Structures are given as structure tokens and as C-alpha cells.
Amino acid sequence: MAFFEASEGPWPALLIGVPLLAAFTAIVTWRAARLLIWSGAAVVPVLSVVLLARVIHAGGLRLPIGGWAPPLGIAFAVDGLSAGFIVVTGLVMAGVLLFALPQFTASAPGAAESRAGYAFVPLVFLAWAALNALFLSGDLFNLYVALELLTLSAVALVAIDGRSGTIAAAIRYALFGLFGSLAYLLGAALLYAVHGTLDMALIAERATADGATVIAGALMTAGLAAKTALFPFHAWLPPAHSGAPAPASAILSGLVPKASFYIIVRIWFDVMPQAAGTIMPVLLGVLGSCAIIYGSVLAIRQEQLKLVIAYSTVAQLGYLFLIFPLAGGGGEPQPWAAGAWTGGIIHAFSHALAKAAMFLCAGLFMEALGHDRIAGLRGAAHHLPLTVFAFALAGVSLMGLPPSGGFTAKYLLLTASFAGGQIGWAIVIMVGGLLAALYLFRPLTYAFTRRGLEEREFARVPRPRQVIPLLLAGLSILLGIASAAPYDILQIGRPHAAVEGLE
């Protein structure tokens, strides 16, 4: 990573500090939850955007904490990739918190006494702080700390309503997470033993394709893949994401797996591209492909909307791993085809926004109906038009139809695979898109069906709450229409390996 050494003062630390402070305040007094949500949702995204503006202005930033440069001290490192993730996190978190406002704060009847009402707000802020810390981190141990904090708050969010089913799902999630952390930590320790530092930029200078480095990379990747629910480590995801309350699922599905994926990208593209070899990228690509096909097929077979969306996450996460074999697919005559890396990241952004929107829609359907059976959605297009519209917009992005962010991502990945002569990945991407259409049009078809007279009425859902998923889904479309901006941002500090390809 080529970074400017810059003295930015303490304010990037606010991105971690403010949500952390909010989390602790919420633990101390639940009465402040409403105020905290409003101020947190207003302040942190603004801080994120300011950081992004700084990165656009100054290029990559490297911020030694307390003035001690690595290897003695530790440093934040911010480039387009991390700033982009921080902004997307900010948008999704703000949307989810505002959405959950009437559900999980003192104003809802009995909320203060229930575990969910008490714990939701602190946990979300904690996850937010962890995510920001993770994206800011410039060294492997900070990443580990942030990742642990994130996993813990995510597991707690799954178990938040205390039903036995969700607690079982949470325990399974925790076990996978624990395995992942151990493997990651082992890898990081091995790297420290060999290179004497955990700072990513320094390891990047020192690492070669020696055996220890490769083993360390493989260990860390395996651990992180388990946390990202990459096939075949995906078993924990569907019960956990479908069992949690909808706003929690939005965070769990939209943001949390992206964090561990982000570390995998950092490791292979920034820290040790020369150690990637030929097998590892292909292996990750194959597992990603399996995830796309397997996740989509299972999504088609679900009868409950939240399970469809959860299996869809398994499938959509698979696309991210195609960037390992596809990066650098361009070559001289078609330089723009080297966009697979950027395409994968844009896919992560667009999926975060669209999937959060989709889970929030599912939450609204559950509120209106009391359940989320797909067959029960009849008439939804009439009773909840805005929500159905938001669901469909998010679906457009997930199916990769233009002009959404999902389409731009798919275009970049497809172009890279054709230009690089790797047609197999293109076939997987196309088939995945068609399968997504199958599982997404099924609930939509029910929504457009006339509702029988004997069926229960829809309960009223206030309009402002319907607007939030619509905005998030709209953003995932906007990401495609205005994809020039995220593309340019992602080029700031883009690693060479993203252009040249892993080898």
C-alpha cells in the first residue's frame, strides 16, 4: 500500500469512539436509546463521509496512533477500499437503527423490560464500532481484535430474542466463529514469528512465497472463510440470519460477512500477493461458485421469506470470491477488463445495501402479517406497495440487472472472465443470475396475486418505516447509475495485484 504519512489528528478515531461511547451509554441507561439512535445515525455517517472526502483529497492515509510509527507503534491505514466500506457501513447502520427505533426503544410497549429492547441498541453500536475499527486497521492484530468484537456482538444479536431455536443458531454461529478466530490467530502468530511485525504494510515488504507465509495465509483464509460463510462453511448462516429480528438480520447479512471478506482481500492482494500461487485463487473461486449454485438452489426451495433471503446471502457471498481467480483478467488490448477486483468490491457494497433493504422489507411483511410464509404474501402489492417496490428494487440489484450496482459488478466480473479466457466463471455468474430471478420472482408473484376474502387482513405499517428499505434499495440502484464515483474511489490505493492478477 502506498500511503501518505499524514497527521490527521484524533478524529478518524471518532469513527470508533462515537459508536463505542453510544454503546456504553445505551447499556447504562436505556432511556437514552432514542436520542442515541438519532444522534448516532446522524453523526457517524457524516464522519464516514468526511473520512472518504479526506481520502479522495489526499489519497491513501496512514495514521500512526499516538505518533509511534510501526513496527513500534500501530497505525490506521485508510485507502479507497476501507473508506468505501466505512461509508456503506454508515448508511446501512443508520438505516437499520432508524428502522428499529419504534421496535426496540422504550416507546414500544414492554420493550424496556425485554431482553431485545434492552440489548439491541448497544449491540448494534458495538458492531458498528467494531466494523469501523476493522476497516481502519493497518495491522493484523488490530484486525483480530475488531473481528472478535464484531463476532461477539453478531452472535448476541442472533440470540437476542431468546427463543430456543435462535439460541441454538447463535451457538452454532459462535462455534464456527471460534474456529475461524483460532485459525486466523494461528496464521497471524506464524507471520509474526517469521517477519517480526504484524503491520500489514511492513509484512508486504518482507513477505515472499516461503512456506511459512503460505501456510499462515492459508490458515487465516480458512478461518476467515468460515466467518464469511463461504461454502462449505455456510451451514451456520441461514438459521442465524433468518432467526434474528429483521433489523439485526439486515446487519448480520449485509455487513458482518463483508468484514471477514475484507480481511481476506487485504491479505492476498495487499500483504502477500506473491504467495498466492495458482491453486489458492482457483480453489476460492470454485468454492465461491459452489456457494452461488448451492445457495441459490436452496433459496428457491424455501417456504419462508427470511430463509430465502438468508440462502440468497450464501449465494451472493460466493460472487465475492470470484475476484481471486479473475483479478487481472485484462491484458494489454483491453485494460478496462482488469476490473474484476473493483467489480467484486462493488458487488459487496451493492449487496450490503440491497440485502439490508430486503431484510427490512421482510420485517415489515412480518409485522403486517405476523409471519413470513411466502404463500401468505398474497395481496401485498396492494396493501404494502412501497415495501413490495423496495423488495423488487433490491431484487433488481441482487439479480444483477441494470442499472443497479449489482449489474456494474457483474459486468466487470464477466468482462474480466471473457477477456481472460476463463469462460467457466462467466457461466457460473450467468446461471447464478437466473437462479436469483427464480427465487426472487416467487415471492413477488405471490405479492401480485389477489388476496382471498377469507384471508387475514394486513395490519397497518406506518409509511416512514416503509421508506427506509426503499431508500436503501434505491441506493443500491444508484450505486450502479453513478458507478463512476465508487469506481474511482476504489482506485485510490488499489493494490497492484488487483490489476496484474494473483500468481
Partner 1 sequence: MSALLPLTILLSSLIPAVVTFFLSERNVYLRNGLSLGGAVVKLVLLAIMLSEVARGAIYELRFDLVPGLFLLLRVDDLSLLFVTLSGFLWLLTTIYAIAYFGKSAHLTRFFGFFSLCVAATTGIALSGTLITFFLFYELLTLSTWPLVVHKGDAKSLRAGRVYLAFTMPGAAALLVAIIWLESAVGPVEFRVAAPLHDLGDWSLRAIFALFILGIGVKSALVPLHGWLPAAMAAPAPVSALLHAVAVVKAGAFGIVRIVYDVFGIGLLQQLTLGLPLAILASITIIYGSIRALQQTDIKRRLAYSTVSQVSYIVLGTALAGPFATIGGLIHLVHQGLMKITLFFCAGIFAERAQITRIDELDGIGPRMPWTALCFSIGAMGMIGIPPIAGFVSKWYLGIGALQAGQHWVIGVLTVSSLLNALYFLPLLYRIWFRTPSDAAQAAAPREYPVALIAPPVLTAIAALATGLLAGSSLSPLSWATLIVERSYLP
Residues at the site binding partner 1, with contacts judged by CB under 8 A: 334-337, 339, 342, 381-382, 385, 389, 392, 396, 401-403, 408, 411-412, 414-415, 418-419, 426, 430, 433-434, 437, 441, 445, 448-450, 480-481, 483-484, 487
Considering the complex, what minimum distance in angstroms separates the CB of residue 463 from partner 1?
A: 11
Considering the complex, what minimum distance in angstroms separates the CB of residue 208 from partner 1?
A: 33
Q: How far apart are CA 160 and CA 118, in angstroms?
A: 10
Q: How far apart are CA 272 and CA 475, in angstroms?
A: 34
State which residue, 67 or 452, has the beta carbon closest to partner 1.
Answer: 452
State which residue, 19 or 343, has the beta carbon closest to partner 1.
Answer: 343
Q: Write down the residue that cell numbers 450496482 correspond to.
A: 405
The x, y and z cell numbers of residue 16, run together, are 470508533
Q: Is 318 helix (H, G, I), strand (E, B) or coil?
A: helix
Considering the complex, what minimum distance in angstroms separates the CB of residue 309 from partner 1?
A: 20
Considering the complex, what minimum distance in angstroms separates the CB of residue 359 from partner 1?
A: 22
Q: How far apart are CA 222 and CA 252, in angstroms?
A: 20
| Cα distance from N-terminal residue to C-terminal residue, the chain | 18
State which residue, 218 or 392, has the beta carbon closest to partner 1.
Answer: 392
The x, y and z cell numbers of residue 374, run together, are 411466502
Q: How far apart are CA 416 and CA 420, in angstroms?
A: 6
State which residue, 179 or 418, has the beta carbon closest to partner 1.
Answer: 418
Considering the complex, what minimum distance in angstroms separates the CB of residue 325 from partner 1?
A: 16
Peptide bond into 109 cis (omega under 30): no
State which residue, 38 or 418, has the beta carbon closest to partner 1.
Answer: 418
- Residue 62's DSSP bridge partners are 5, 77
DSSP letter, residue 495: -
State which residue, 166 or 417, has the beta carbon closest to partner 1.
Answer: 417
Q: Angle at Cα 150 formed by Cα 148 and Cα 153, nearest 5°?
A: 110
State which residue, 181 or 342, has the beta carbon closest to partner 1.
Answer: 342
Considering the complex, what minimum distance in angstroms separates the CB of residue 439 from partner 1?
A: 12
- Residue 94 CB burial class (10 angstroms; 0-12, 13-18, ≥19): buried
- Residue 460 CB burial class (10 angstroms; 0-12, 13-18, ≥19): exposed
The H helix count followed by the E strand count for the chain is 22, 3
How long, in residues, is the chain?
A: 503
State which residue, 11 or 336, has the beta carbon closest to partner 1.
Answer: 336
State which residue, 179 or 441, has the beta carbon closest to partner 1.
Answer: 441
Whether 77 contacts 493, CB under 8 Å: no
Considering the complex, what minimum distance in angstroms separates the CB of residue 377 from partner 1?
A: 12
Considering the complex, what minimum distance in angstroms separates the CB of residue 28 from partner 1?
A: 42
Q: What is the 3-state secondary structure (H, E, C) of 273-304?
A: HHHCCCHHHHHHHHHHHHHHHHHHHHHHCCCE
Considering the complex, what minimum distance in angstroms separates the CB of residue 363 from partner 1?
A: 22
Report strand pairing: 75-78 vs 61-64. Answer: antiparallel
Q: Angle at Cα 305 formed by Cα 302 and Cα 306, nearest 5°?
A: 100
State which residue, 38 or 448, has the beta carbon closest to partner 1.
Answer: 448
Peptide bond into 71 cis (omega under 30): yes
Considering the complex, what minimum distance in angstroms separates the CB of residue 457 from partner 1?
A: 16
